[in-house]
Structure 1
Amino acid sequence: MTSDLHAAPERIGAARPESKARTFARLGKLDVYDYYLSVLVVGAAALPAAGFAAGAEALPMLLLFLLGEVCTLVALVSFDDVTGFRDGSDIANYGPNDPLRKKLRKPLVAGTLTEREALGFGWAAAGCGALLWGAAAVVAPHRPMWTLVLIAVTLVIALQYSYGLKLSYHGFQEAFLVALGVALVLAPHGLATGEFSGFVLVQAVLFGLGPLMFGVYSNTNDVAGDRAVGRPTVAALTSPRGNALFIGALSLGEFLLCLGASLTGVAPWWFAVLVLPGNALRARQYHLGFRAGDIMRARRLGFRVHRLYVVLLVAANLLAALGGAR
């Protein structure tokens, strides 16, 4: 079995040689920076709240937290690629039968890295992530216990996504994607301000929904490969109609979250109006995927929707700080 797996890249076809640095960057998916945008949301929420002069004390912490976030997520996706290569799902989803997927984005499938190199890189990144998040906590203006616990739990759980406990192989993939985004907003905000905010929690959930809402479209495209290896995503467990209803419910839930936050006073009254462009683009994404039938184009649009939401959340925080009204 092991020899078959290692021979798989040769059966798919040899990849064009490229530098090791570029290959490791591909393994770490450094071009997919959407989770890293959490620090922009946190900075816009925390710095004005403390006053820009006092809030500047949090900048070294935010930089260290961002670097630790990059390393932790690089470890996560590296381990995910190792597992996907071992069980054959990446070979199925990125092989010659799917010309729309770029094989070089999966270095193990392309044959440009070995398992040992990928695992070593992943563990090195995980170690750096732990050190950087520890340093962020040391230099932070505040260190509430709940924040320190959240950081530690996030680090440990992130490494179990598809390696170790393999949470994504036990039905937790969708919940994990949201929870990770929530933690990456709440944790640095707690270190910066020492406080928990309902408005920031709403933003954290909205931020976490972003990666989920391009992840579920990827799962829709990868349903055959995921079913073959027993990876129980919603798309793999349900019918096409059931999966469409699930994603539609998530899209509607995102809108209702914003509306409910404004109506209940958790967010400023104008918040639901401000984020309407994001809601509209999310509806467009659903139309592309399940009415026009172009799942991969809908997935790509999901990145734009998430990044638009980040811009809107930053604007919301700055407006709230300037207006002071809820």
Structure 2
Amino acid sequence: MTTLFTAPTRVGAYARLAKLDIWDYYLAVPLAWSLCGPARDDPAALATLGLFLIGAVGVVAGAVAFDDVAGFRDGRDWANCAPRDSASAAAPPRRRLHRKPLLTGELTEREAVLFGWGATLFGLLVWTWTVAFAEHHPLWSVLLLAGCFFGAVQYSRGIKISYRGLQEVVLAGFGAGLVLAAVGLCTGELTGFAVVQAALFGFGPLLVGVYANTRDARGDASVGRPTAAVLLTGRGNRLFIAALTAAEVGLVVAASLLGAAPWWFALAMLPATGLRAAQLRHGVGYGDLAGARLLGLHAHRVTVSLLILVNLFAPLLGGH
């Protein structure tokens, strides 16, 4: 495949392979910190969270590198980067190729695979150290962390979970698992409100991914990658996205009404709810999938920021 342009540095190419500019999963760590209550000021807990974050960067970098390798091998990434009116176009726009250093020829397949294994091994070693170092290591937390590692590594390699119709489950479950595993290692405890917040965190990457998958449905279908956007009709997929959005908002409201969260929780989350409504309008209403994906990133970041504020101020306002 012809090299379209040369990167200024190979470091930049590896950084783009690792998708270091997309840091939304790593927000699980500050959210977990805010859920630690009195342990927030414990140096051991802070060190545990620091190690956890470093390990997460390695695991995620390895997972996305393997995903790029899989997309390069089966042609999915080339098809998805091509202009929307011609999947067989010979030269996709450079802006779409910028984050795919394998397609641009900046990195070879072998280099990407070695990077993926190196990052994965690094993440595994750091997470193992994190569990050994943590003051608390309940079995459920260790199992959650092991599940996150397995799901990330096997997402596009090995059993290829994302090629077996479970992509959406992994997108949400990985994020929720990170939050709960980190809280468990720092406190050894699990509350209903923490579970609610972990689920809301998981909705973040999920409600970014479903819009991206809708945009990439043609390329995914061509290689047999069965995302919801591939398996459902256009109308069915729109209903699926609307249902996910309603489920996230419904979880916030139900948590307030049923006592799992402070009574004012739903009011505090209104800015995030507004962004979700705008995302749904852009993506499902107007068909602006790129705009909806971007709004999804903003909505996730606002959601996490609001959750952290809720956790910090709830004791002062008579909450959990």
TM above 0.5, yes or no, is yes
**1:73 aligns to what?**
60
* Post-superposition offset of 1:95: 3.4
| Equivalenced residues, count | 313
Residue 82 of structure 2 corresponds to residue 92 of structure 1: no
**2:119 aligns to what?**
125
Counterparts of residues 143-222 of structure 1 (less than 5 Å): 143-222=137-216
**2:86 aligns to what?**
none
* Post-superposition offset of 1:314: 0.2
* Post-superposition offset of 1:311: 0.4
**2:17 aligns to what?**
27
Matched residue SS, 2:226 = coil
Identity across matched positions, percent: 48
**1:3 aligns to what?**
none
CA contact (8 A) 1:45 1:317 kept: yes
Structure 2: which 5+ residue stretches go unaligned? 84-88
Structure 1: which 5+ residue stretches go unaligned? 1-6
For residues 193 and 204 of structure 2, the distance between their equivalents in structure 1, rounded to whole angstroms, comes to 17
* Post-superposition offset of 1:161: 0.5
- Kindly provide the amino acid, as one letter, of the partner of residue 99 in structure 1: P
- Kindly provide the amino acid, as one letter, of the partner of residue 7 in structure 2: P
- Cα separation, partners in 2 of 1:202 and 1:185, compared to 1, 3 Å: same
Counterparts of residues 242-321 of structure 1 (less than 5 Å): 242-321=236-315
CA contact (8 A) 1:202 1:261 kept: yes
**1:83 aligns to what?**
70
CA contact (8 A) 1:68 1:130 kept: yes
**2:50 aligns to what?**
63
**1:50 aligns to what?**
38
Q: Deviations over 1:199-252 (max 9, x none)?
A: 011100100110111111101100110110111011111111111110000111
For residues 240 and 319 of structure 2, the distance between their equivalents in structure 1, rounded to whole angstroms, comes to 36
CA contact (8 A) 1:93 1:101 kept: no
- Kindly provide the amino acid, as one letter, of the partner of residue 167 in structure 2: Q
- Kindly provide the amino acid, as one letter, of the partner of residue 150 in structure 1: L
CA contact (8 A) 1:140 1:192 kept: yes
Which of 18, 21, 30 lines up with 1:40 in the alignment?
Answer: 30
Give the structure-1-normalised TM-score: 0.93
Residue 131 of structure 2 corresponds to residue 137 of structure 1: yes
* Post-superposition offset of 1:198: 0.8
Q: Deviations over 1:33-72 (max 9, x none)?
A: 00000011011110xx22554x332000000000000000
For residues 319 and 14 of structure 1, the distance between their equivalents in structure 2, rounded to whole angstroms, comes to 52
Q: 4+ residue stretches of structure 1 with deviation over 4 A?
A: none
* Post-superposition offset of 1:78: 0.3
For residues 38 and 132 of structure 1, the distance between their equivalents in structure 2, rounded to whole angstroms, comes to 17
- Kindly provide the amino acid, as one letter, of the partner of residue 227 in structure 1: A
Cα RMSD of the aligned pairs, angstroms, is 1.4
